[in-house]
Amino acid sequence: MLFVSSDAALQDLEFILPVIYEYARAGSQVELLILHAPRMQHQQFFVQLAERIADRVLYGWRAFDPMPEFLLNRLYDDQFLTAPRNLLGRVYENLAHPLALRSGLSGWRRRGLQAALKRWMQGAHAVFQSHKPEPKTPYNPVMLIDAAAREAGAPLVGYPVAVSAFHGAIAERIADYDLTVLIAPEQAEAFAAQRGLGVLAGGAPKFEAAWRARVNAEWDAFVGEDKPHIPPGKRVILIAMKNDTSFLFNHMDFQQVNREMVESLRGPDVFLVLKPHPRQSMEQVRAVMAGIPAEEYLIDFAPLTYWCARADEVVTLFSGAAVDGLAEGRPPTLYWPMCDAYRDAMADGRIPGFYTSADSDGRIQCQFDAYARVVTEAPLMLEPVDPAPYVAAFTHTFNPEGSAARIRLAVEALPRP
C-alpha cells in the first residue's frame, strides 16, 4: 500500500497523479491525503481524477487546525512577509473559505491527527510527500506526517512540483527524505553534491504520452456537453497566465502587463484562449479583458495539455507552463517584460535567485530560457521558431517516457526497517 500526501496545489497533483496511476496499474493500493481544498474548476478536475485512480482519498485542512499553524508558519516565511497579497489570500483560504470552516468544525483536531495518521499509514510500503523545506516551527503538519511515516517504518519519498527546470542550489529548499525525487539529471547531481542523500532524476510523469491521453479523455468526460466552441478558420493562441499574487507582480502591474500582451496578440484571424493560473483572481482576469469583444477570446480551465494540443501558438508569462507546449512539439513564447523596478528588485535581492539569475555579462536569465523564446521588451511580437533545439532540451531535462515506472521501481528498491 502506498500513502501520498499533497496540499492539492495543482503543481503537486500534476506530478504525483501519473505516479499513483502507475502504482494502481501495477496492482498496488494507494491512499491520498489532501491537506488543501480544491479552489478552482481546474483543481477540482484533478481531485476528481485522483478519486478515480486512488483507492481512497482523504481530506483535511492543513493540520486540521488552520489558525495557529497557518499564522506561525507564515511568520517565519520571508516570501509572504515581502508579498502581503499572498499572505492575505492565504488567510482567506485557511480561515474564511467554506471548506476551511467545515474542516475546522468537523472535530478533526490536532489531538486526533497523530492517531489518524498512524491508522492510515498502517501497512504502507512508502509515504510520498511533496517537497517542503525543513519546518521552521515544530507546529507544522509536515513534521506530523514525517513522524507518522517513521513510526510506521515506511520510507519517506519527497517529490517535486510538476515542472521545475531549475539547475542551481536547491537542497536548502528540500527537507530530508529517504529518497528525493527530482526531475532533471543536473538537479539530481547538484542535490547529491550538496546533501549526499538518496536522490533520483525521475523525469516528469505529467508529460508521458499515455498520461496526457488519459487526462484529455477524462477532461472530455468531465465537461461533457459543455465543450468550448472555437470559431472555424481562426489561428488559436493559448495564453497560459501567471498568478497575479506571484512575486513577479510585486514589481510589475498585472493588469498592464497582461493587457499589453493581449493587445499585441489580437487580430482578425486570431482567437485567444486564456488559461488562468490555478490560484488566479478572476476579477483581475476580467479586468484585463474588459472592453474586448467576447467573440475574440475564451477563458477556460482545461488542463494545459488539452489546449497545447489544439493551439497554433503557446504564449506564457514567467511560469512553468512555458514548457507544456513542448510535450506537443510546440515551442512557447515566454513574455517577461522587465521594467526598471523589476531590475532594481533583482539587484537588491528581492527576486529569489531560485527563479532568475544574471550571467557574467549581466544578462538576466530565467530557468525557462532553454525551453522557450523569451521576449523581455514590449511589445510582444510572435515570430517563427525552430522547435528542434527547444524540444531537444525538453526531452533531456524532463525525460517523460517511462518516468512514472522509474520512480515506482526506485521506491520499491528502498530498504525497509
pLDDT digits (tens, 9 = 90+) for 85-140: 444 444 444 444 454 444 444 444 455 566 777 777 888 899 998 887 766 555 46
- Supply the pTM of this predicted model: 0.82
Joined together, the cell numbers standing for residue 230 give 472555437
Ranges 28-32, 97-101, 341-345, most confident: 28-32
User: How many Å apart are CA 366 and CA 164, to the nearest integer?
Assistant: 12
> Going by CATH, does the domain composed of 2-208+400-412 fall within 3.40.50.2000?
yes
Q: Report, as an integer, the average pLDDT of 297-326.
A: 90
- Name the more confident of 75 and 354: 354
Domain residue extents for the chain: 2-208+400-412, 229-397
296 confidence band (pLDDT: 50, 70, 90): very high
Within 13 Å and on the Cβ side, how many CA atoms surround 324?
29
Q: Which pLDDT score is estimated for 64? A: 43
- Name the more confident of 326 and 57: 326
Q: Which pLDDT score is estimated for 242? A: 86
Q: What percent of the chain has pLDDT over 90?
A: 35
Of the candidates 187, 132, 186, 130, the one whose C-alpha atom is nearest the C-alpha of residue 161 is: 130
Domains 2-208+400-412 and 229-397 share a fold: yes
The CATH classification of domain 229-397, taken from the options 3.30.750, 3.40.50, 1.10.1060, 3.30.1050: 3.40.50
